[in-house]
Structure 1
Amino acid sequence: MTKLSVNINKIATLRNARGGNVPNLLVVAKDIEDFGAQGITIHPRPDERHIRYADARELKDTVMTEYNIEGNPNKNFIALVLDVKPTQVTLVPDAEDAITSNAGWNTIKHHDFLKDVIKTFKENGIRTSIFVDPDTAMVEGAAKVGADRIELYTESFAHNYGIAKNLEDKNAAIQPFIDAAKTATKLGLGINAGHDLSLDNIKFFKENIPNLLEVSIGHALICEALYFGLDNVVNMYLHKLK
């Protein structure tokens, strides 16, 4: 079964909008695990506009499933990850002013940098994943820098699937991701995926991507939970990921 890791950035956004500690991020993370999710993801950014670095440290003693920290590996992020030692770190090439992640790594151009960063994390027992576009050359580059996994950046799939008029269009939307996944498997890389995956498209994605280990879902899941409830939505995803 593909594991579901829930990104709780939006919970932190809601808390920060009002001040104080409602909703309590630690309680929500624990509840999400109790509802059945197999992981918790956070993506702290330099301005701490949602997840704060203090949250990342406090969650270490709360998360009992897989703990995944995503972010651009600048000096402060690297120090945070080495301090917390999560299950997995996912490297994402975010600009500091990015609203959300909008591109995967160029693993060829940034080969030396990524190789050094990954070496540091792996020496500390932290599994590493690289956020990449569905491009076989970028997947091959991820293998060459020593990553354990890739996370496929699925925004283009979600967009094209959403406007698809028939099965042929849906197959065209997923094909680059199938090719990337097959390349990753051949190279011994684990496969994660995330960005704009939702209850509408997750089943089709899961059924067509070979060896999909984990999906990280935040924005859509929290939006859907406004209508269906957090417990229900987590289990709706788990059902579709079986």
Structure 2
Amino acid sequence: MATMSKNSRKAVRDARRLARTHSNGILSTLSAEMEGWPFGSVAPYILDFEGHPILLLSDLAQHSHNIQRDSRVSLLAWEDEKSDIQQSGRVTIMGRAAVIEGDDALRDRYLRYLPQAQEYFAIHDFRFYKLAVERVRFIGGFGDIHWISGEDYCLPSASFDAQLIAAESGAVIHMNADHQDALIRYCRAHGVEEPAPRLVGIDPEGFDVATRAGRLRIYFDAPVRDAKGLREAFVRMARALDGGRDDLPGPVAG
């Protein structure tokens, strides 16, 4: 990405931001029933720390049968604020989907973003899939059209420490339990008045807060690499807002 133009770097950032801001997409697979035909279905998703979509799919679903035969898929997400969808930003993420083992941390993270999926975990035929990004088509608006490689779109795994992933769950729990006043201030600083905000997830670029108006995406002033960097980012934000005290995620405080 170091050799990319300023406009291209902005497109990469905006594409990833759009994908992170939304949770519903259109999953397109290649039909196993009708050879060579595209098959579209609705698909809730979350993104992992690098930016790869994670989906929870039933083995009984047609798109799962299609993926088992041909793993090439695309996932389309778009802004839904504008009445004319042609004027809305949208991102199509193309890659190969594969089953991954879902541990407790992934399940908890998925449910924080998509709590309505709780009942699916009682049904044994649902499994997590990772869409490994190979290419992205991003349209930011009229004339703002880009092809982006998967390598440029995704955050390199080397750009953050595994310690940051391990710190996320505890940080979320601690902030929601002990520092809701800070979350209220964070929301207010971004134009949202929310008396009961709920932090749902953290990643190297920022964090997501559930509000009555929908999910609010808040970005750090610079990407964080590890638990120490996460602590420092929250400290800076807390100090910047109304002279507030330092609000730190629990497992990275101290």
Q: Normalized against structure 2, the TM-score is what?
A: 0.27
Higher strand share: 2
Higher helix share: 1
Give 1 or 2 for the bigger CA radius of gyration. Answer: 2
